[in-house]
Homo-oligomer: A and B are copies of this chain.
């Protein structure tokens, strides 16, 4: 028999898993409050401050009292600027009317799945993958269906595996490149092939939030290959604007109005000051992006060989975002216990692979959104811990 509060609380809220990464972060902070020095490589948040040109635009908006609700689809000038940036980046023409400004990618995902999924309809997700996708699917009554990625193939989704899970109920296929938690980038061929699976009744949802954070090769937009797609992108990662909560969707014309109605009812509009800040992010922050990108790459080039040398398995080098998903099964099959051990012994905070799916169990995600000095110190500590283990 259920306890009283279990009768009150919905099944989804009882069942939903917290981000384990948040638990690690809290444990690390508790250790810090006891005077320990922890190196944070668990968090998926840029360590850089938001570039000053962006801050200045936000301050200017506040001074001009531009703080009312905006149009539910977002500021017209921001939607135009986003359309222009997509054209510059990929050579794809997108009408500003197809762009919907959202409160972080979070809102973009909820709006997307709420607009597409009837209860029981299916979404193809990858394991490993960003754990929140399935939570958005769940909340609107949809059903996640998983394909397993293989690290020997650089965690690249296989077309045949996707095809094998498609059904008449499949409404969306989610791809994410550069990918969290692997830092890998899908090949042009792979993305083009998956684009072929889209159609008038089935969308490819391409989470492109790590676009622009690419250190080798090139990240392609799904829009280069199909119109039957929804792009999720924004300012949190590339522009170091996490707390601003501002992103956008690019959607086919027939989805604008349904998503707009959902946005009017479920969000009203995205944060206004952040929308003015985002305008500056597109117009003026290129030098900052280049500066930050060079530093991320420097860290990556230092960290990846160092992890390999220590014995972690990284069969295909990560070339985007700011993550490395390393095989640690030679140390433990249980990634959660392992990161707790590393936190306690080496004072380095990491994220267990299990946070991203059963298929990443035995792996550890290293985030290099922290300074090179910290990364070097983390490697020293890990080496010492391994030597004494």
**Cβ-defined contact, A58 with B273, below 8 A:** yes
In the complex, are the beta carbons of A9 and B103 less than 8 A apart?
no
A131 to chain B, nearest CB (A): 8
Distance between A212 CB and nearest chain B CB, rounded to angstroms? 19
A315 CB-CB contact with B under 8 Å: no
CB–CB A200/B4 < 8 A: yes
Q: In the bound complex, what is the Cα–Cα distance between A274 and B245 (angstroms)?
A: 11
A258–B106 touching, CB < 8 Å: no
Tell me if A264 is interfacial: C-beta within 8 Å of chain B.
yes
Question: Could you say which of A18, A200, A245 has the most chain B C-beta atoms within 10 Å of its C-beta?
Answer: A245
Please tell me the number of chain A residues within 8 Å of chain B, measured between CB atoms. 76
A131, B271: Cα distance in complex, Å: 21
Question: Which residues of chain B have C-beta atoms less than 8 A from A268's C-beta?
Answer: 104, 106, 242, 245
When the two chains form their complex, are residues A103 and B261 in contact, meaning their CB atoms are under 8 A apart?
Answer: no
By beta carbon, the residue of chain B nearest A2 is B201
Copies of the protein in its oligomer? 2
| Docked CA distance A140–B260 (Å) | 18
Q: Beyond A16-B265, A266-B139, is A9–B255 a contact (Cβ under 8 Å)?
A: yes
Contact A114 B13 (CB under 8 A): yes
A65 within 8 A of B: yes
- Measured in the bound complex, the distance between the Cα atoms of B267 and A339 in whole Å is 26
A81-130 at interface with B (beta carbon < 8 Å): 103-104, 106, 110, 114-119, 121
Which residue of B10, B116, B202 contacts A9 across the interface (Cβ within 8 Å)?
B116
User: Besides A19-B265, A67-B243, A244-B273, 8 other CB < 8 A contacts?
Assistant: A8-B171, A8-B202, A11-B118, A104-B268, A110-B110, A119-B119, A243-B269, A243-B273
A interface with B by C-beta (< 8 Å): 4-5, 7-14, 16-19, 22, 45, 49-50, 55, 58-59, 62-63, 65-70, 72, 103-104, 106, 110, 114-119, 121, 131-132, 135-136, 139-141, 171, 200-203, 241-245, 254-255, 258-262, 264-274
> 27 pairs across A/B with beta carbons < 8 Å?
A4-B200, A4-B201, A8-B171, A8-B255, A10-B114, A10-B115, A10-B117, A10-B121, A12-B140, A13-B114, A13-B116, A13-B262, A16-B261, A16-B265, A17-B261, A22-B72, A22-B264, A49-B67, A58-B62, A59-B62, A68-B243, A70-B243, A103-B103, A114-B139, A131-B265, A135-B262, A136-B265
